[in-house]
Structure 1
């Protein structure tokens, strides 16, 4: 009997050739991977690690995630170059701070581009020339106050913010897209330049186009802006249709 070793060709460049995106998600987030699979084109892939989070969702508990971010980033395809690393928690970014998140990732993966839902949302507001915003979240009033304060301090006029009042991150994904859509139509102020739907756990990406058509203004969600911003960071050249004006008209610019 002849025994042979077959030597494969190693062609890493053919795996996610347009972008490898590392995602640090919450341990309880049911939704982020599902949304990103829809939002990313086929030649871009997301590779996920998870960081332990604690319920109830309060600013103090959100801050407690910070020590785990570096370790989570370290487990995403060790030894393989990533183009971008995402920290996928909007309220967690509000609590911890964008710069600290970037610093924690860079402790393990120096030099890689880092984004998060707040940084991505601010970039989207800028490119959409939006100054007056309405915000819909799944959070409690206490967390919403901190969210609104952050955007106000960045120079935006938060006309209103409304939440579903959830304290359990897992349960937030149970909110149906239909309920998100109905709440968004009710919450969006007529004078707002856009509506921001906050939280990576919310299944909002699929209702963005309908909301934009009804409201006649841009609508952005946490996962949509993460996909958009990370695609811009890898210089993705083509529009992505089906998820709102941001993805369709503001990628290759």
Structure 2
């Protein structure tokens, strides 16, 4: 008799996202299993203007500032006032700049501020790659990442014992709305070397999850993306175990510290 109204949920996941970015919440909700709802809190990002417009390459200073108090801490605190089971930090590049140690410290700070579990993109990607038994990876970054930021990304994964045997910003239009999934698919397929055991597509604002299944089929190896890895870790942190198909083999494995039995 009654139509679905979105109030029923098996779990609600909060996501912290740059104020003009629609990528994280769009892709997370697209992949989320039935009954899992995504709720976004927007945080000021100094390199993003009205409509999500950004410079052709992102300067490092606002990337670093996004992860620092007080704005992100206050957003986490306010988001946790809603009945969310965990919070997902939807921003790849700050981990590149502050490194794994800085990312871990930020997560601990946000957990204290919010009182709920908090997961982050790059830490989730590392956990996913380890769960899949990957050692060597190809790192594909958004076209608006310059060579310095891309190199910092490779260093992040190298520091975690995952060799970035290939890394580069994708040679595509340097605007979020200019990304065409077919062009991203073609670029990755042409550039990923055979020695890479898996692919990680960085950047939560890069439209990417729609090409995961096709790339895995054609490349014959796991393909992870920022928002896919983030959702995978968040679901396990929430204790939600539900089948997700069409978005990669990552959803077939569990992290070693998963609370799900």
TM-score, normalisation: structure 2 = 0.83
Unaligned runs of 5+ in 1: 1-13
CA contact (8 A) 1:140 1:165 kept: no
**Residue pair 1:162, 1:187 contacting (<8 A) in 2 also:** no
Alignment of structure 1 residues 111-122 onto 2, 5 Å: 112-122=116-126
Does residue 106 of the first structure (1) align with residue 111 of the second (2)?
yes
Q: Give the Cα separation in 2 of the matches to 1:173 and 1:122.
A: 28
**2:75 corresponds to which residue?**
72
The answer on 1:219 being equivalent to 2:220 is no
Runs of 4+ in 1 over 4 A off after TM superposition: 165-168
The DSSP-based 3-state class of the residue aligned with 2:114 is coil
**1:109, 1:193 → 2: CA distance?**
37
Distance verdict in 2 for CA 1:103–1:166, change over 3 Å: farther
Distance, in Å, in 2 between the alignment partners of 1:173 and 1:31 is 10
Check the 8 A contact 1:132/1:157 in 2, yes or no: yes
Q: Which structure 2 segments of 5+ residues have no match?
A: 1-6, 48-54, 255-259
How much is the aligned-residue C-alpha RMSD, in angstroms? 2.0
What whole-Å deviation, never above 9, does each CA across 1:140-189 have from its counterpart, x for those lacking one? 10100110111111111110101037897xx2342111121111112211
Larger deviation, residues 230-239 vs 40-49: 230-239
TM-aligned CA distance change 1:145 to 1:228, over 3 Å: same
2:165 matched to which residue of 1?
159
Paired position in structure 2 for 1:193: 197
1:16 paired residue among 9, 12, 15: 9
Report the counterpart of residue 24 of structure 2 in structure 1. Answer: 32
Contact 1:173–1:201 under 8 Å retained in 2: no
Q: Cα distance, 1:77 vs. partner?
A: 5.5
Contact in 2 for aligned 1:30/1:201 (Cα 8 Å): yes
Alpha-carbon displacement from aligned partner over 1:211-250 (angstroms, at most 9, x marks no partner)? 0000000100000001111111122222201101112x22
Q: Deviations over 1:177-215 (max 9, x none)?
A: 112111111221101110000011111101100000000
* Alignment match of 1:245 (pick from 232, 246, 249): 249
75, 79, 86: which is aligned to 1:84? 86
Asked if structure 2 preserves the Cα contact closer than 8 Å seen for 1:136 and 1:187, the reply is no
CA distance in 2: counterparts of 1:224 and 1:214, whole angstroms:
19
Q: Rg larger in 1 or in 2?
A: 1
